């Protein structure tokens, strides 16, 4: 637990509620049937939520869990048409509604993903969040189509079509988005 949730455990100690770790272990063995040790971390944020832990602490636990999840995750090959854009298969999101000094993070929408087997953490802008949201619609987009759809979206009028193309291209470069080019994932 300390490896996956170091900052969460630190906060629990500071708040004098570190007994929750032991209570979690007991609950885990008595009530939650866990198939493998690798499944254990996913239940800790859920357990804390049921204990009525403040949302600021839950955010730290969720942040640490999702980072751990991406580290453990293997990238999957996406089935896409030539030139089609998609979301990185390892992409996970966590929204921080509070500044988190223990994590050294401000409020915002963060994502974790792997690029060439390296863990990347990135804070998304509003424009980038809209691009991700559009790709969740399960439609197929090329770079041009995605930029155009973003520019014509009611929230997308905050920047020009050219700026949307630059936003999508930047997300491709970062590895948040992937594209199928000549049979290879870019």
The tens digit of pLDDT for each residue in 95-120 reads 999 999 999 999 999 999 999 999 99
Q: What is the pLDDT of residue 136?
A: 85
pTM of the model: 0.86
- Regarding whether 110 and 61 lie in a shared domain, the answer is no
Q: How many domains does the chain have?
A: 2
Q: Is residue 77 part of a domain?
A: no
- Regarding whether 122 and 51 lie in a shared domain, the answer is no
- Regarding whether 137 and 95 lie in a shared domain, the answer is yes
Q: Using the predicted structure, report yes or no on whether residue 67 has a pLDDT greater than 60.
A: yes
Q: Is residue 1 part of a domain?
A: no
Q: List the one residue out of 3, 126, 152 whose CA is nearest residue 64.
A: 3
26-52 average pLDDT score: 81
- Cβ(129)–Cβ(109) under 8 Å? yes
Please give the residue range of the domain that contains residue 113.
85-185
Give the end of a domain, one of 46, 72, 98. Answer: 72
Q: What is the pLDDT of residue 155?
A: 82
- Report the range out of 78-92, 93-107, 123-137 with the highest average pLDDT: 93-107
- Regarding whether 136 and 94 lie in a shared domain, the answer is yes
- Regarding whether 51 and 140 lie in a shared domain, the answer is no
Q: Which residue has the tokens 């520019």?
A: 151
Q: Using the predicted structure, report yes or no on whether residue 184 has a pLDDT greater than 70.
A: no
Q: What is the pLDDT of residue 32?
A: 65
Each residue's pLDDT tens digit, 136-169: 877 889 999 999 999 998 887 778 999 999 999 9
Give the end of a domain, one of 72, 99, 122. Answer: 72
Q: Is residue 65 part of a domain?
A: yes
- Regarding whether 108 and 139 lie in a shared domain, the answer is yes
Give the end of a domain, one of 20, 41, 72. Answer: 72
Q: Which residue has the tokens 């007994």?
A: 19
Measured in whole angstroms, how far is the alpha carbon of residue 12 from the centre of its chain? Answer: 23
- Cβ(88)–Cβ(78) under 8 Å? no
- Regarding whether 109 and 59 lie in a shared domain, the answer is no
């Amino acid at each position: 637990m300390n490896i996956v949730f170091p900052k969460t455990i630190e906060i629990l100690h500071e708040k004098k509620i570190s007994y929750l770790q032991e209570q979690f272990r007991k609950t885990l063995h008595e009530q939650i049937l866990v198939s493998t040790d690798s499944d254990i971390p996913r239940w800790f944020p859920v357990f804390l939520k049921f204990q009525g832990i403040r949302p600021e602490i839950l955010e730290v636990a969720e942040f640490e869990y999702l980072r751990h999840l991406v580290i453990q995750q293997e990238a999957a090959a996406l089935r896409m048409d030539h030139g089609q854009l998609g979301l990185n298969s390892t992409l996970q999101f966590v929204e921080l509604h509070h500044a988190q000094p223990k994590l050294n993070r401000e409020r915002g929408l963060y994502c974790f993903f792997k690029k060439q087997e390296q863990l990347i953490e990135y804070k998304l802008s509003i424009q980038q969040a809209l691009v991700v949201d559009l790709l969740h619609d399960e439609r197929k987009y090329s770079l041009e189509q995605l930029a155009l759809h973003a520019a014509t979206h009611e929230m997308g009028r905050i920047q020009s079509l050219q700026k949307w193309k630059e936003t999508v291209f930047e997300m491709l470069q970062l590895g948040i988005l992937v594209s199928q080019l000549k049979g290879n994932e870019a």
